A and B are shown apart, each in its own frame.
Chain A
């Protein structure tokens, strides 16, 4: 039985060998499982941008981009299988969109010499490029998000949060626990009290947490949720009549599908972000004419312009720009993963370049360097308008509190380097 199945699998693997000419961008997507609502628009945006580049520009400097999609279902075991299955096909960069899979892949990509881009998720301290040579998390990381929320609240409250009560409602996993350290430091600095309320996977059961919020009456609630947890939390907040404008989510808790189910009651809910929302960017005209109208859109093609679609598109855009940078540095259009890594490390995204791509002010301008793989961490705030059914950017992209974050990054990355005997420094 065993032998038969393995030989069958072997034959099938061999039959599916690809041509090695294109630039390969694997997409470890999840269109199934409890987090599919977030996984689908991201994967669509990621795939559509590469299609756009192929259709409009004839590829990246003439070399076609090829997206290999592999379904993980947000499951780390399947993520590992997907990684092993695709890495041999010349994969240039991995973007797993899952903190769990990121943690699996960090040591593997470093050993295999393939870059990993975890935009706004994954291991925050990977921003220290001296330790994590192959991991990038520009333009912003979780701790920038946490600090950005507090900065926004400081601004709203005249620069003083002393004596305020803030509750953190978080997904009880590596992802949800990430901001706690930073928020604790910030609470010491600004004098607010922080209480943490864990919600277990997948997050449908939040009665006791909201009972506690009702009892404590915190001034603000910060949410670190993903998937169905967001919808349930926003519904519960509406049920307990918690004022929506005091309820702020991280960027993974601020998409259309999170707020739609609560209807008008979700009006005023906020979420921090690191890229533009809506489809008022010239690039979407190209997207419409080159991809959607031609019937080449990924998935059902109904996600264009959604928050997470934009994020997937942004991720793909940064990958394409990094590939172009790599082609420039190494003087060849046929780049390898190692060259791609150099391109990502030398990436510069000034406003002029984004405008040229039809995405003016779509994200913050930033540079990546060997010491700093995380970018400057500029974050903005968005708010949901339930009557117009749109997310609106209500503040500029502002810097996070790097005085607090940088020492934490140092501490955590150095602990990792020590645990794994990594020689730090820039080559």
Chain B
């Protein structure tokens, strides 16, 4: 009733295999895109951009990246924080070495560099899998953080070891630094998110994505039917690394502006992005968005309700927040192990039949 496909006929294979085959779904998607691109930039203020929208957009990119690796290709990774750090430091080195270049190019190159690093650390995946691979990528996490702390070249020999983003622009519009307007930082991140989501969606629908999923479901069987595990696994690491690198670069340059590697890209970051993927839904692009929104917004909402509305002490709210987020994660995984994406799918099914379920 609310969600119907009556009269929505497909007359060609192309129409049948598009991303949003149901007309209503497709138009809703266009409306969301139009809102995000054409309305939000005009109403966004500093608080909304810096505290809610930017982290949501940037974590969504990271979650898409990790989802490709873990959700689509089945290669468990705990190195996300380290790979985000690679993106951030690559972006920093590029920004300071080539100040005249556009931020777009810096962020894309940072993603490319991270992809190469990610492929290098993905090499062990050809021999090991599951928990053992998780431990290998965990080693990458610790190694990369240690490296960026240890080698002064990465932070341009600054006394404190921090990197801070200088002011850079795109077509004359300031994107990084404190003078960047909220709408510009938001739009810049949104463009990258839209671009990454589009690429990820189309990759996962095509040959490459099918070979990833074959490897995930059963690698030996995949090999027998002609999937090259080397190509499939390393391409997953590469693509995933690219997205995570882009998110790391944005996280540093656009969102925070200054970063200390151990604090910003520690093991906690790896877990956070992994939780986003698991809660949102493994193997789903929408799930990456939903998971990022859930884990970025929930603490803010709980804080606003607890401190500003109810007037509780801040430390009590912070502790309650930990309890609630933890409990919700547990409840979620018991009630719906496939994440928010699956809940959404089920809701859509129900709405299509409502009010006459069979």
Cβ of B41 < 8 Å from any Cβ of A? no
Residue of A whose beta carbon sits closest to that of B319: A32
Contact assessment for B290 and A2 in the assembled complex, using a CB-CB cutoff below 8 Å: yes
Cβ of A424 < 8 Å from any Cβ of B? no
Instruction: Decide: A2 near B177, CB < 8 A? Known: A9-B301, A177-B160, A200-B262.
Output: no
Please report the C-alpha to C-alpha distance between residue A80 and residue B96 in the assembled complex, in whole angstroms. Answer: 24
Cβ of B140 < 8 Å from any Cβ of A? no
B160 contact from A29, A32, A178, Cβ within 8 A? A178
Q: Which residues of A contact B309 (CB under 8 A)?
A: 12, 15-16
Cβ of A123 < 8 Å from any Cβ of B? yes
Cβ of B207 < 8 Å from any Cβ of A? no
Cβ of B229 < 8 Å from any Cβ of A? no
Q: Which residues of B contact A16 (CB under 8 A)?
A: 304, 308-309
Q: Which residues of B contact A73 (CB under 8 A)?
A: 318
Q: Which residues of A contact B289 (CB under 8 A)?
A: 2
Shortest A7–chain B CB gap in Å is 11
Cβ of A181 < 8 Å from any Cβ of B? yes
Residue of A whose beta carbon sits closest to that of B35: A3
Cβ of B123 < 8 Å from any Cβ of A? no
Cβ of B159 < 8 Å from any Cβ of A? yes
Q: Which residues of B contact A110 (CB under 8 A)?
A: 178
Interface SS of chain B: helix, strand, loop or mixed? helix
Contact assessment for A107 and B308 in the assembled complex, using a CB-CB cutoff below 8 Å: no
Please report the C-alpha to C-alpha distance between residue A87 and residue B309 in the assembled complex, in whole angstroms. Answer: 18
A104 contact from B258, B303, B315, B318, Cβ within 8 A? B258
- How many A residues touch B, CB cutoff 8 Å? 57
Q: Which residues of B contact A99 (CB under 8 A)?
A: 160
Contact assessment for A77 and B314 in the assembled complex, using a CB-CB cutoff below 8 Å: no
Q: Which B residues from 298 to 318 make CB contacts under 8 A with A? A: 298, 300-301, 303-305, 307-309, 313-315, 317-318
Shortest A175–chain B CB gap in Å is 8
Please report the C-alpha to C-alpha distance between residue A32 and residue B306 in the assembled complex, in whole angstroms. Answer: 16
- Digitize A170-185: 1 where CB-to-B-CB distance is under 8 Å, 0 elsewhere: 0011110110110000
Please report the C-alpha to C-alpha distance between residue A106 and residue B178 in the assembled complex, in whole angstroms. Answer: 9
Instruction: Decide: A103 near B162, CB < 8 A? Known: A6-B52, A84-B50.
Output: yes
Q: Which A residues from 117 to 149 make CB contacts under 8 A with B? A: 123-124
Cβ of B167 < 8 Å from any Cβ of A? yes
Q: Which residues of B contact A5 (CB under 8 A)?
A: 293, 297-298, 301
Please report the C-alpha to C-alpha distance between residue A71 and residue B320 in the assembled complex, in whole angstroms. Answer: 13
Cβ of A419 < 8 Å from any Cβ of B? yes
A81 contact from B50, B167, B259, B318, Cβ within 8 A? B50
Q: Which residues of B contact A219 (CB under 8 A)?
A: none
Contact assessment for B161 and A107 in the assembled complex, using a CB-CB cutoff below 8 Å: no
Q: Which residues of A contact B149 (CB under 8 A)?
A: 172, 198
Contact assessment for B262 and A201 in the assembled complex, using a CB-CB cutoff below 8 Å: yes
- Digitize A7-27: 1 where CB-to-B-CB distance is under 8 Å, 0 elsewhere: 011001101100000000000
Q: Which residues of A contact B259 (CB under 8 A)?
A: 76
Contact assessment for B260 and A100 in the assembled complex, using a CB-CB cutoff below 8 Å: yes
Please report the C-alpha to C-alpha distance between residue A16 and residue B96 in the assembled complex, in whole angstroms. Answer: 42
- Digitize A93-123: 1 where CB-to-B-CB distance is under 8 Å, 0 elsewhere: 0000001100110111011100000000001
Please report the C-alpha to C-alpha distance between residue A133 and residue B322 in the assembled complex, in whole angstroms. Answer: 38
Cβ of B51 < 8 Å from any Cβ of A? yes
Contact assessment for B55 and A71 in the assembled complex, using a CB-CB cutoff below 8 Å: no
Contact assessment for B52 and A174 in the assembled complex, using a CB-CB cutoff below 8 Å: no
B301 contact from A12, A107, A415, Cβ within 8 A? A12
Contact assessment for B178 and A9 in the assembled complex, using a CB-CB cutoff below 8 Å: no
Q: Which B residues from 81 to 130 make CB contacts under 8 A with A? A: 96
Q: Which residues of B contact A357 (CB under 8 A)?
A: none
Cβ of A208 < 8 Å from any Cβ of B? no
Shortest A104–chain B CB gap in Å is 5
Cβ of B263 < 8 Å from any Cβ of A? yes
Instruction: Decide: A103 near B164, CB < 8 A? Known: A5-B293, A76-B256.
Output: yes
Contact assessment for B164 and A71 in the assembled complex, using a CB-CB cutoff below 8 Å: no
Cβ of B47 < 8 Å from any Cβ of A? yes
Please report the C-alpha to C-alpha distance between residue A84 and residue B50 in the assembled complex, in whole angstroms. Answer: 7
Cβ of B223 < 8 Å from any Cβ of A? no
Q: Which residues of A contact B293 (CB under 8 A)?
A: 1-2, 5
A201 contact from B255, B266, B297, Cβ within 8 A? B266
- Digitize B324-353: 1 where CB-to-A-CB distance is under 8 Å, 0 elsewhere: 000000000000000010001000000000
Residue of A whose beta carbon sits closest to that of B314: A71
Cβ of A412 < 8 Å from any Cβ of B? yes
Residues of chain B whose beta carbon lies under 8 Å from any beta carbon of chain A? 46-47, 50-52, 55-56, 96, 149, 158-162, 164, 166-167, 177-179, 255-260, 262-264, 266, 289-290, 293-294, 297-298, 300-301, 303-305, 307-309, 313-315, 317-319, 322, 340, 344
18 A-B pairs within 8 Å (CB atoms) are namely A1-B340, A5-B298, A8-B301, A12-B301, A12-B304, A69-B314, A70-B307, A70-B314, A71-B315, A76-B264, A80-B51, A88-B46, A110-B178, A123-B160, A172-B262, A173-B161, A174-B260, A420-B166
